Structure 1
Amino acid sequence: MNLAIGILKEAQEWLTPVFDKETQDKVSEMMASSPKELKESFYKNLEFGTGGMRGVMGVGNNRINKYTLGKSTQGLSNYLYKVFPNQKLKAVIAYDCRHNSDTLAKTVADVFSANGIQVYLFSSLRPTPELSFALKYLNCQCGIVLTASHNPPEYNGYKVYWEDGGQIVPPQDAEIIKAIEDLKYDQIKFEANEDLIEYIDTEIDQAFVKSSVQNASFNTSKEAKDDLNIVFTSLHGTSITVVPDTLALAGYKNVHIVEEQRVPNGDFPTVKSPNPEEPEALTMALALAEKTNADIVIGTDPDCDRLGVAVRDNQGKMILLNGNQSMILMTAFLLEQWKKAGKINGKQFIGSTIVSTPMIMKLASAYDVAYKSGLTGFKWIAKMIKDFPELEFIGGGEESFGYMVGDSVRDKDAVAASLLICEVAAQAKANNSSVYQALLQHYVDFGFYKEHLISITKKGIDGLTEINAMMVNLRENPLREINNQKVVKVEDYKSSLSLNLLNNESEIINMPKADVLIYYTEDGSVICARPSGTEPKIKFYISVNEELDTIENFKGIEDILNERIKNISTSMQL
């Protein structure tokens, strides 16, 4: 069956009485006058990526709507009964500020309840990390959050969490997907049992805030907290419901909130993208920082799992930290606090991902803790806690502005991380230093690692084809030299092979398969190519490094590393 016939067949199914009239009318309209939209809406089923299932809202099996989410929830319900026989099943549901998130969350609750599953549904929008916390707090078998993180306003999404509080991982993800794909749309049970739906709010909020303060507070003096001047923006998202309360309970009173971005709004009217990875997103917060002479700026994405941080450099200018830098600062601080408390005994670990800075491994070695690396996505860091029960998890992060402190939340958590970076800043300032100065000292102590990310956007079915072709080309025409430096090792996570080009020996990569290629060059540079699992992008991660003997030589070495990154990009035609 060719693609056009397959699309038409899928679309015609949505004209049957299984679907409501509004849906049928929209499909008929697309079939009559919008062939491109029809193609994009029906050419494939929505898939689970690194951050769950995300897509544009609309009709069709490649769109987020009540039927695709209903089918996912029905399949998940069937799977829950299979995995947890003879148990009282419980699920908890949260949602963010996006359009239709509240109604889609109620649809998910309806389907769970129609299947006899007790549902705890947040009465209004909440951060994603609170969902992970609530799942364990309420002893549920699974949790769902309706969110598309920092994607554009037309997107929404569906993330599935398991009883440990982490997102689903193999083999469960494939088993759940099969349970969903085995269903037909007319098998979805939409008729709610309202007696099984309980709305939750204050009790969970208070427990979550208290837990966040306990996990991310480290004996900072009242004077140091009072002296720290903070600017915070929720970027129209969910963090406004929790982060200010968390900072207040921890004793931080000097917090200035960007009022224009305080109110949750799925249109994100004051930013091009509500993504703290993008410098533009923090423009208003930086302006407020100048007005209030703030020491630190914190901005979170719509579902409050990522945070962007800005601090003052040695000239007093506000600069944005990247995700690797904030991860290094928070991890080094945690390790030092654990060391001071005498809690490091060789049975601890920190975690990160294969595309994050190699500098994190230097930290682990220096503090005599184990280092665990996983694929991109925090579900893999959360899985490490299950996989290594004999080791105590201290903290972990990834380059995409996510961090997790301890074990009460098993996903990236901008609530605890916001407090933790304030602890770093307050203690540094109290010691006549700064966050920026601490970062430079880490470069001296552990090596100056500098990273750069290049994202190339390719939307739609044609874009997916282009991205796949780029990865095929890299595999069929392997790079032997980058920026006049020999490639000494290539890791292909799709074939699970690591090839040493110096001796032509290969090793098996002991991780799940993924469409990722990583090149290592003779000067220590690392370049990774990876299609995004949540956005229509292909990403190239570049990491370079040099020794830094003194802070005074920082600028000169930084110029060298910037030039190296530029030359690598040019040589790869990025």
Structure 2
Amino acid sequence: MFSQARDWAAKDPDPATAAALTELLQLAEDGSPAASQELADSFSGTLQFGTAGLRAALGPGPNRMNRVVVRRVAAGLSAFLVDVVGEAAPGTRPRAVVGYDARYNSDIFAEETAAIFTAAGIETFLMPSALPTPLLAFAVRALDCDGGVMVTASHNPPQDNGYKVYLGRHAVEDSGRGAQIVAPYDARIAARINAVGALESIALATDGWTVLDPSVAADYERATAALTDAALFPSRDLRIVLTPMHGVGGETAVAVLNAAGFADVTLVAEQAEPDPDFPTVNFPNPEEPGALDLALEAAARVDADIVLANDPDADRAAVAAKDPDTGAWRMLRGDEVGALLGAHIVARLAAGTDEASGSAGHAGGGARAGVFANSIVSSRLLSRIAAAAGYAHEETLTGFKWISRVPGLIYGYEEALGYCVAPELVRDKDGISAAVLIAEMAAAAKADGKTIFDTL
């Protein structure tokens, strides 16, 4: 193990992790039990690539997230994309897009991935800045890419980072275009990663990829704001407190809410800007006790109607409101929000259908087109909401990689605060599009003299 660690330190392209490993080696050799344990864990195996990609603590060694591990994964993924596109569409140049959040080293991992993809002959786009995960998922389809990479550890602790993979265009069947990978794609990619040679054999281009214009974010914001329907639900009288939880979703979420007509949005100042240390929370997850304390304090101070919270990469959304029965603010459970959004989407569809047809509503004359879905760990209430409105419902395995693949999907959710309200835009959970429809729903309830708890 010591010789393996010394060899790693000698070849590590990152001077910071090389220096950290050299110091760790010295401490372990001097007899430090903690250093010996850390060294053993860092070199006890290799991070395994799976359907969730990679996620681990940052640091040196094959069992950590670092530039060596990311280079090898990028090289294997690029080989997979070249192969699969060559088989499906001979003569077509593969195309990929790479995004990243504001965690430590995310930008470096993303740029080196772009450099390796480019060297492999892949037409590569790099996001213009640290942006939400749903925007990367949007770009995979909007740019007609065969692959997408998002460097993020979502709501993990600050010492972690990760690497999520999406497929599209020629690399996957239609139902999986723009979605995270499932089997057997994970195994095929892992096999190509395992086949990568020595680190020095991995080619990195010095240029040749395209850094996307910020208009890609504007396109997402415009399309997401347009999900609201002011003709059917005209009220925009809603005082919102929003926290991006020190992540990358704040600017995008505010832009979407404002463009949809929600002008009264207060950002939680202490959590508004991206900060990889997440200094005001123990864990940057809206579900964790205490994570919404600052947002609830702000809500009380400005007399808000609702609190909206995104996790750091903005693919999840949490909601809190004042319970009229107790007068206390309470965060809604994921199943409660999932049912509320399902009922709201049914109401939107019914109103739009009735307006178009001039009918008095669905009279049970057959099933409507489209499917509602949730995972097996979520409530059964959505299935009853869908059935009552004449829509099909499917229950899937846990994870949006399965929910997003349901044919004819209209809306899907899982109880861990993940909601897909617009699968035609983002074939994944999206905390920003969910937030804007939650705002529409809450404003409609307020206009009727109710709260979302009354709707529940």
Task: Provide TM-score, normalisation by structure 1.
Answer: 0.71
Structure-2 separation of matches of 1:260 and 1:22: 29
The question of whether the paired residues in 1 share the 8 Å contact of 2:50 and 2:187 is answered with no
Letter in 2 for 1:404: C
The question of whether the paired residues in 1 share the 8 Å contact of 2:13 and 2:67 is answered with no
Unaligned runs of 5+ in 1: 1-6, 440-574
How far did 1:219 drift? 3.4
Unaligned runs of 5+ in 2: 29-34, 169-176, 355-361
Match in the other structure for 1:430: 447
**Larger strand proportion, structure 1 or 2?**
1
2:395 corresponds to 1:373:
yes
Match in the other structure for 2:56: 55
Structure-2 separation of matches of 1:158 and 1:427: 39
Structure-2 separation of matches of 1:339 and 1:41: 55
2:376 corresponds to 1:354:
yes
Match in the other structure for 1:282: 292
Structure-1 separation of matches of 2:201 and 2:71: 6
Match in the other structure for 1:542: none
**CA 12–151 in structure 1, closer or farther in 2 if over 3 Å, else same:** same
RMSD of aligned residue pairs (Cα, Å)? 2.0
Match in the other structure for 1:104: 109
Structure-1 separation of matches of 2:193 and 2:57: 20
Structure-2 separation of matches of 1:54 and 1:398: 21
Match in the other structure for 2:167: 162
**CA 18–229 in structure 1, closer or farther in 2 if over 3 Å, else same:** closer
1:209-288 counterparts in 2 under 5 A?
209-217=221-229, 219=231, 221-222=233-234, 224-225=235-236, 227-288=237-298
Match in the other structure for 1:400: 416
Describe the superposition over 1:67-109 as per-residue Cα deviations: whole angstroms up to 9, x where unpaired: 1111111001111111011211211111111111111111111
Structure-2 separation of matches of 1:218 and 1:412: 24
**CA 396–137 in structure 1, closer or farther in 2 if over 3 Å, else same:** same
Letter in 2 for 1:183: V
The question of whether the paired residues in 2 share the 8 Å contact of 1:70 and 1:190 is answered with no
Match in the other structure for 1:133: 138
Determine which of 146, 151, 154 is the counterpart of 1:149: 154
**CA 435–49 in structure 1, closer or farther in 2 if over 3 Å, else same:** farther
Structure-2 separation of matches of 1:141 and 1:15: 35
Letter in 1 for 2:85: F
Q: What SS class does the counterpart of residue 383 from structure 1 fall into?
A: coil
How far did 1:46 drift? 1.3
**CA 131–188 in structure 1, closer or farther in 2 if over 3 Å, else same:** farther
Counting aligned pairs with the same residue, the percent is 37
**CA 105–54 in structure 1, closer or farther in 2 if over 3 Å, else same:** same
Greater Cα offset, 24-33 or 82-91 = 24-33
Q: What SS class does the counterpart of residue 396 from structure 1 fall into?
A: strand
2:108 corresponds to 1:91:
no
Structure-2 separation of matches of 1:21 and 1:282: 37
**CA 230–17 in structure 1, closer or farther in 2 if over 3 Å, else same:** closer
How far did 1:29 drift? 3.8
Match in the other structure for 2:44: 43
**CA 271–18 in structure 1, closer or farther in 2 if over 3 Å, else same:** closer
Letter in 2 for 1:436: F
Match in the other structure for 1:183: 196
Q: What SS class does the counterpart of residue 14 from structure 1 fall into?
A: helix
Structure-2 separation of matches of 1:307 and 1:403: 8
How far did 1:177 drift? 0.9
How far did 1:51 drift? 3.5
Q: Which has the higher contact order (CA 8 A, sep 6+)?
A: 2
